[in-house]
Amino acid sequence: MVDILQEIAIAIFCKNSIRKEKPVSNTNSDNPRQEIEEAIAAGDLSKLLSMNRMLHGHFCPFSAMGFKAAVRAVRELGVRSTGMEEVVAIVETNSCFSDGIQFITGCSFGNNALVYRDFGKPAFTLARRSGDGVRISVRADRVSEERSPEATQLFEKVVIERGGSQDDKKHLSELWAKLSFRVLELPEEEVFDIKKVAVDVPAYARIFRSVKCSVCGENIMEPRARIKDGKAICIPCSGQEYYQLAGDGISIKQEEPDEKKSA
């Protein structure tokens, strides 16, 4: 019971008190995303793209495309995010494209402001809670590699076939860096289809209480708990099917309960 109260207290604190928190960084602002917002306002895309790499791990034209689309959408709607679901991003692909969107919009997997639709399309929608939104998709005839057959060849070797030498990998990352910064120069209207849309924004994420699995003893968000012999049990211990989001998109998986028991 104490655990649950503590969790609820922490959840309420997270939902309500972030703006009142003292900054943890050495900036004078209480806005942790100030540097990003200022760079968006100033149009300092090169700085932002370098910062985006901190999240994404590398430069690549696909994340640069998502990044560029996100900058456009944020400017178009004139929104800022504190990660409290006042702005929601709906992404349609789980590729590099979507990391640029998380970074620029501040809508992330963890703060519930990111909605994932498993369409496999390089497109996303940014919406205010009121439902005013903008959807941006990369035009079908615009694949950035078309401008560099060399990068396309290396991409096949290094990424698709998971092969290539260290030199190939280094060369690809240099080409990708170059292409990424070139993406920033492309005229937006030439690369994207941009439409104002009315969005059915999901309700604010609910705060659920936790229950304890009667088999493994771990905490479970209540709606994910299953009941077995009148007791709460987690999905892996129950052996029931569940959804998994991985590189291939969302799929249905199932654990062997015996495997879990011997673990």
**What are the tokens at 41?**
């306002």
What is the rounded CA–CA span in Å between residue 163 and residue 203?
44
Residues facing 127 on adjacent strands: 88, 133
Nearer to Zn ion, 110 or 217 (CB): 217
Q: For residues 82 and 107, is the Cβ–Cβ distance under 8 A?
A: no
What is the rounded CA–CA span in Å between residue 11 and residue 8?
5
What is the rounded CA–CA span in Å between residue 226 and residue 1?
19
Q: For residues 89 and 109, is the Cβ–Cβ distance under 8 A?
A: no
Identify residues 7-26 at the interface with Zn ion (CB under 5 A): none
Among 96, 138, 179, 232, binds Zn ion (CB under 5 A): 96
Q: For residues 62 and 97, is the Cβ–Cβ distance under 8 A?
A: yes
> Residue 150 CB, nearest distance to Zn ion (Å)?
17
> Residue 34 CB, nearest distance to Zn ion (Å)?
26
- Report the 10 Å Cβ neighbour count for 80: 17
Per CB under 5 A, 234 contacts Zn ion = yes
Stretch of 46-54, 89-97, 112-120, 182-190 lying at the interface with Zn ion (CB under 5 A): 89-97
> Residue 63 CB, nearest distance to Zn ion (Å)?
5
> If DSSP codes are grouped into helix, strand and coil, which group holds residue 192?
strand
Per CB under 5 A, 213 contacts Zn ion = yes
Per CB under 5 A, 237 contacts Zn ion = yes
Q: For residues 260 and 253, is the Cβ–Cβ distance under 8 A?
A: no
Site string for Zn ion, 47-86 (x = CB under 5 A): -------------x--x-----------------------
Per CB under 5 A, 101 contacts Zn ion = no
Per CB under 5 A, 215 contacts Zn ion = yes
Stretch of 15-23, 85-93, 187-195, 209-217 lying at the interface with Zn ion (CB under 5 A): 209-217
Residue ranges binding Zn ion (CB under 5 A): 60, 63, 96, 213, 215-216, 234, 237
